[in-house]
Amino acid sequence: MIILEDVVKNYGSDVPALNGINLHIQKGEFVFIVGKSGSGKSTLIKLLLKELDPTSGEIFVNKKNLNKVTRKKLPFLRRDIGVVFQDFRLLPDRNVYDNIAFAMKVVEAPNRKIKSRVLAMLSMVGLLDKYKSFPNELSGGEQQRVAIARALVNRPAILLCDEPTGNLDPANSNAIMKILEQANKQGTTVLVVTHNMDIVAQMKKRTITMSDGKVISDREKGGYFYED
Ligand SMILES: Nc1ncnc2c1ncn2[C@@H]1O[C@H](COP(=O)(O)OP(=O)(O)OP(=O)(O)O)[C@@H](O)[C@H]1O
Ligand SMILES: [Mg+2]
């Protein structure tokens, strides 16, 4: 599902941001990626989306070798990957329904299908009653739930989350984790970058720790190693 082989990413400075990453993530896994600021977590996410190319090494996502995915084929790769960021990134001039529907309109889904899927996603994230609200009328936790609904509406095989609870309080963070766990139970492979070690400890999932562009520990069920 996700394989990295000897991946190096050098932005041009003396020290590479990623310095020899080897990683296998199976279909259906739920994985946390932790590590101090600058350790390379977001760089890893950007490589998986092919927003960046590695300096060397190979990356496979859904059996596709990203070094061989052409610009023309990029939309097909990205269609299979949902993404959620710390800062929500909703379209400010569209309501909740249209923010989620937009992701399906882009792939030219028929309107009837769009409606039933968007409503199903809104129900999953508990926001059916807010479908007409605009992003600036929602709390941070609600905005993030819309962002997750949007990321999942096309039923991607993989959901990548870069600090999804970074702007949220503990109650909202827990609610977001419940939704991610539900998506995972429905078969989505979920990767979550986070600094929230309380959540990592609670969830008891595979946890990969990065430091200086390397994986320094990879443990099942929430054991982690973290130096601040
Ligand atoms: N576009 C860029 N150009 C040059 N250097 C970069 C760029 N993006 C990231 N870096 C550097 O690469 C390293 C890894 O950055 P990255 O954003 O992947 O870290 P991170 O683990 O996500 O950190 P944080 O927890 O603060 O989000 C850092 O040293 C950073 O300064
Ligand atoms: Mg980051």
Residue 110 lies in a domain: yes
Per-residue pLDDT tens digits for 133-161: 999 999 999 999 999 999 999 999 999 99
Work out the mean pLDDT of the chain and round it to a whole number.
94
Q: Is 41 near ligand 1, meaning CB less than 6 Å away?
A: yes
Say yes or no: 146 and 39 in one domain: no
Residue 150 lies in a domain: yes
Q: Is 33 near ligand 1, meaning CB less than 6 Å away?
A: no
Q: Is 133 near ligand 1, meaning CB less than 6 Å away?
A: no
Ligand 1 atom, smallest distance to 40 CA: 18
Task: Indicate the residue among 138, 155, 172 that finishes a domain.
Answer: 155
Say yes or no: 102 and 41 in one domain: no
Per-residue pLDDT tens digits for 67-86: 999 999 999 899 999 999 99
Fill in the DSSP letter of residue 93.
T
Q: What is the pLDDT of residue 88?
A: 95
Residue 85 lies in a domain: no
Domain membership of residue 130 as a residue range: 90-155
Average pLDDT over residues 43-47: 98
Average pLDDT over residues 174-188: 96
Q: Is 40 near ligand 1, meaning CB less than 6 Å away?
A: yes
Number of domains making up the chain: 2
Ligand 2 is a single-atom ion; what residues have CB below 5 A from it? Answer: 41-42
User: Count of CB atoms within 10 A of residue 226's CB?
Assistant: 15
* Confidence class for position 220, pLDDT limits 50, 70, 90: confident
Q: What is the pLDDT of residue 133?
A: 98
Q: What is the pLDDT of residue 225?
A: 52
Say yes or no: 147 and 162 in one domain: no
Give the Å distance between the CA of 41 and the centre of ligand 1.
8
Surface-to-core class of residue 162, CB atoms within 10 Å of its CB (0-12 exposed, 13-18 middle, 19+ buried): buried
Task: Indicate the residue among 155, 176, 195 that finishes a domain.
Answer: 155
Say yes or no: 12 and 55 in one domain: yes
Higher-pLDDT residue of 118 and 225 is 118
Rounded to whole angstroms, the Cα distance separating 211 from 35 reads 6
Say yes or no: 147 and 96 in one domain: yes
Paired residues of 209 in beta bridges: 34, 217
Ligand 1 atom, smallest distance to 15 CA: 29
Give the Å distance between the CA of 53 and the centre of ligand 1.
14
Residue 130 lies in a domain: yes
Surface-to-core class of residue 105, CB atoms within 10 Å of its CB (0-12 exposed, 13-18 middle, 19+ buried): exposed
Say yes or no: 171 and 149 in one domain: no
Higher-pLDDT residue of 31 and 224 is 31
Say yes or no: 124 and 198 in one domain: no
Res. 92: pLDDT tops 50: yes
Say yes or no: 23 and 66 in one domain: yes
Give the Å distance between the CA of 162 and the centre of ligand 2.
7
Q: Is 42 near ligand 1, meaning CB less than 6 Å away?
A: yes
Say yes or no: 160 and 73 in one domain: yes
Four-CA torsion 160, 62, 221, 162, nearest 10 degrees: -10
Q: What is the pLDDT of residue 224?
A: 53
Q: What is the pLDDT of residue 207?
A: 96
Residue 188 lies in a domain: yes
Backbone angles phi, psi at 30, to 5 degrees: -120, 115
Say yes or no: 1 and 76 in one domain: yes
* % of the chain with per-residue pLDDT over 70: 97
Task: Indicate the residue among 106, 125, 155 that finishes a domain.
Answer: 155
Surface-to-core class of residue 129, CB atoms within 10 Å of its CB (0-12 exposed, 13-18 middle, 19+ buried): exposed
* Confidence class for position 227, pLDDT limits 50, 70, 90: very low
Helix residue ranges per DSSP H, the chain:
41-48, 74-79, 96-106, 111-124, 140-152, 170-185, 197-203
Say yes or no: 134 and 163 in one domain: no
* % of the chain with per-residue pLDDT over 90: 91
Fill in the DSSP letter of residue 23.
E
Say yes or no: 116 and 66 in one domain: no
Res. 37: pLDDT tops 60: yes
Tokens representing residue 227 in the block? 């130096």
First to last CA, the chain: 31
Three-class DSSP category at 158: strand
Q: What is the pLDDT of residue 167?
A: 94
Average pLDDT over residues 196-220: 95
The CATH number given to whatever domain includes residue 47 is 3.40.50.300
Average pLDDT over residues 91-98: 97
Q: Is 37 near ligand 1, meaning CB less than 6 Å away?
A: yes
Give the Å distance between the CA of 215 and the centre of ligand 2.
15
